[in-house]
Amino acid sequence: MSQRAPEREAISELTTGRLSVYLRCLTFLESIGQRTVSSHELAERFHLNSAQIRKDLAIFGEFGTRGVGYNVATLREHLIHTLGLDRTRNVIIAGAGNLGMALADYGGFNEGGFHIIALADSDPAKFGKTSRSGIPVVPFASLSTTIRTSSVEIGIIAVPSPAAQHTYDALVDAGICAVLNFAPIQIRLRPGVKLKSVDLRINLESLSFYLKNVEDGTCGF
């Protein structure tokens, strides 16, 4: 599809998700002063198979030492680089409702490589206000300007479902090519733009399905 195929195009989302998990673990291990870690030790922590971990870590080069394991600090730096977290990426949140505000103040979204620039909303009553942690609400109409002047690379859709497609298009038109969507609808995609969707309700329904299937009084009690 694209002409300059970077030799290794095929790293699945499952793999990158695990890399993120390993990274978090390595950060913890480094903080407690551990120098090396083996694939077996990592595997135990996450109920994973050690071969899986070795395969994941070997995709981008050989970073372990046979007979010893992986150097925590080195591997951590390597993963940070691989995931593109070694420089800050600016983020904008579309929708300053409950969810948008919560995400703006969410710890994990404002550290380790990400910086939330602003929330954009179409309700004038919210303009000029800020989230609790001080992230400003700007008019939706100025989305494009904000994105360009602040070099925003990632957009988060936290608007009601009916507004989601429109919001997506506005983000893409402003030059965004990576979008995280919380609206439970199927977005009409545009080429060259990466979309990740998080459907909160599906998780609850999955639990409901589980409960229905133990609905005979068991549940371990």
Contacts with DNA, residue ranges (CB under 7 A):
10, 12, 14-15, 38-40, 48-52, 54-55, 57-58, 62-70
Q: Which does 67 bind (CB under 5 to 8 A by kind): a second copy, DNA, none?
A: DNA
Q: Which one of a second copy, DNA, none is in contact with 54 (Cβ closer than 5 to 8 A by kind)? A: DNA
- Rounded to 5°, the CA angle 34-42-84 comes to 85
Instruction: Name the minimum Å distance from CB 48 to DNA.
Output: 6
> From residue 168, how far is each of 59, 106, 149, 150 by CA, in Å?
33, 22, 19, 18
Cα end-to-end distance, the chain, whole Å: 55
Closer CB to DNA, 4 or 66, in the complex = 66
CB of 19 to DNA, least distance (A): 11
38 binds, among a second copy, DNA, none (CB under 5 to 8 A by kind): DNA
CA dist., res. 99 & res. 123, Å (int):
15
Q: Which is nearer to DNA, 64 or 95 (CB)?
A: 64
Q: In the bound complex, what is the minimum distance in angstroms from residue 188's beta carbon to DNA?
A: 19
The structure tokens listed for 2 are 């694209």
Residue closer to DNA by CB (options 145, 206) is 206
CB of 170 to a second copy, least distance (A): 16
CA atoms within 13 A on the CB side of 88: 12
Closest CB to a second copy among residues 54, 190:
190
- Distance in Å, CB of 63 to DNA, minimum: 5
Q: Which is nearer to DNA, 16 or 110 (CB)?
A: 16
Tokens of 73: 């600090």
Nearest C-alpha neighbor of 157 from the set 180, 176, 136 = 180
- The binder of 200, among a second copy, DNA, none, by C-beta within 5 to 8 A per type, is a second copy
Q: What one-character DSSP code corresponds to residue 69? A: E
| Residue 54 or 89 with smaller CB distance to a second copy | 89
Pick one of DNA, a second copy, none as the site partner of residue 70 (Cβ within 5 to 8 A by kind): DNA
| Helix count and strand count (H, E) for the chain | 8, 9
- CB atoms closer than 10 angstroms to residue 184: 13
Question: Contact, 175 vs 145, CB < 8 A?
Answer: no
Task: State the Cα–Cα distance between residues 146 and 152, nearest whole angstrom.
Answer: 8
Token representation of residue 201? 């309700």
User: To the nearest whole angstrom, how small is the minimum distance from the Cβ of residue 45 to a second copy?
Assistant: 6
